[in-house]
Each structure stands twice: as structure tokens, then as C-alpha cells.
Structure 1
């Protein structure tokens, strides 16, 4: 089997078998990969690659935002505000080709990524096993 196809199959299987907490951390991991790639591409003037990564990062943030449940978690509205702000940063970073705006998004999202990783690694309780854990 083609190595790229094999990798894609393994990735798909990992996603399909992942817990809600693991899916969340996987999304954050990929978000930071996209943001760092976009920033690097902007700094080297490769705006096509930067745009591709910024648009994908926006799609991830939209997915994270859609998983918010304000009925279960009181902090969901505040996190939604952060997602909205970062989405606008990424749109502006893409339009203006500004790596400083991309860096600002990285600075905001990296601690959230770490927080969700820490939460996912913590012992689970009944309230975090049913999917309500999602950001």
C-alpha cells in the first residue's frame, strides 16, 4: 500500500476511535501546526501556503466553536468570544499578509491548547465522559 494512503488510513482510524477529549486535543494540536506553518510562510513571503494554513485554522476554530455547549458549561460564552476574536485575527492576517497577527493568534491559542491537554490528562468524572467536556 502507498505510504501516504496508509498514513491517511491510520489517521482516519485514530480519529474515529478517539474519545471526545482526545478529538478536542487533536484539533488544538492541528490548529497550532497550521498557525505556525502560516506564520513561517508569511515570514518567507509564501502567501499561498500561508493562506491555505490560515483558512484551515479558521475551519478548525469553527469546529471548536460548534462544539461549545452553553447549557453545560458556563465558560462557553467567553470561549466563544475568544474563538470569534481569533477568527477575525486570522482573516486579517490573511488579507493583510501580516505575520504579527498570526503570532497574536498563536499567543492566544497555545495556552488554551495546553489547558485542554492538561484537562484531558486529568482523571475523568461522570460529567466529562459523556461528551460535555468538549470546548
Structure 2
């Protein structure tokens, strides 16, 4: 019981004290983790777990989409289009139970994560 409470406290403190850029990176890191877990579950034919992870990934992408101010940044409209495409790929992967589509979504999620990490590091300098 204690380790769970300690972990929850640590995570709560990490999120509560993180900069907006770090929060964004944490969110896309979790997106990658969810898609990886969903892919693993699909390959193991654990459809319930795959559905759980892929729908959580979809929720993260929806959060990214709704928090994006497309007019506030160069390329905002293009990024919104990428988020939309990724979300639709995740839905397709889940509904069709298609690990190949999930793999495509994972590639996109990893690129997004790398890009946001680089942007956060550049902003911190």
C-alpha cells in the first residue's frame, strides 16, 4: 500500500511543479507508452487491454487537439491536422484490431514526442 501512495505523491508533485513545456512532454511520453502497451496487447490478442490503452491514447490526443491554439504558433494548423490523423489512426487500430495500424500510430507518436522534447529543451535554454 505504501509504495502506491508514495508513487502517487511523487507523480502529483512532479505534475504540480512542472512547467507547461514539461507537462506537454510528459503527456506525449504517456501517449507513446499507451500506444506501445496497446500494440503489445494486440499482438498478444488481449483485446480488452488493447482497447483500454488505445482509448487512453485517443483521450490524450483529444487533449492535445483541444489545448492547441492553432493561430498562436507557426504550423499550428498543420499540427492540428497531424493530431487529427493520429487520433483517427488510433480509432481504426482499435476498432479493426489491427496491429499494423497501431504500429503506424506509434511511429507518429514517437516522432511527436521527440519533437516536443527538443522544443522544450530549446525553450529552456
TM bracket (short chain): over 0.9
Kindly provide the CA deviation profile for residues 10-39 of structure 1, in whole angstroms up to 9, marking residues without a partner as x. 101111111000000000100000000000
Q: How many residues align?
A: 125
Cα distance in 1 for partners of 2:67, 2:92 equals 24
Shift of residue 123, structure 1, vs aligned partner? 4.5
Shift of residue 74, structure 1, vs aligned partner? 2.7
Unaligned runs of 5+ in 2: none
Q: How does 1:95-134 map to 2 (within 5 A)?
A: 95-124=95-124
Q: How does 1:1-135 map to 2 (within 5 A)?
A: 2-124=2-124
3-state SS of paired residue (2:72): coil
Cα distance in 2 for partners of 1:123, 1:86 equals 25
Greater relative contact order (CA < 8 Å, ≥ 6 in sequence): 1
Cα distance in 1 for partners of 2:56, 2:83 equals 14
Kindly provide the CA deviation profile for residues 54-106 of structure 1, in whole angstroms up to 9, marking residues without a partner as x. 01001111111122112311311111111111111111111111111110101
Cα distance in 2 for partners of 1:86, 1:113 equals 13
CA RMSD in angstroms, aligned pairs only: 1.3
29-38 or 74-83, larger mean C-alpha shift: 74-83
Q: Is the 8 A contact 2:71 2:77 kept in 1?
A: no
Scaled by the length of structure 1, the TM-score of the pair is 0.87
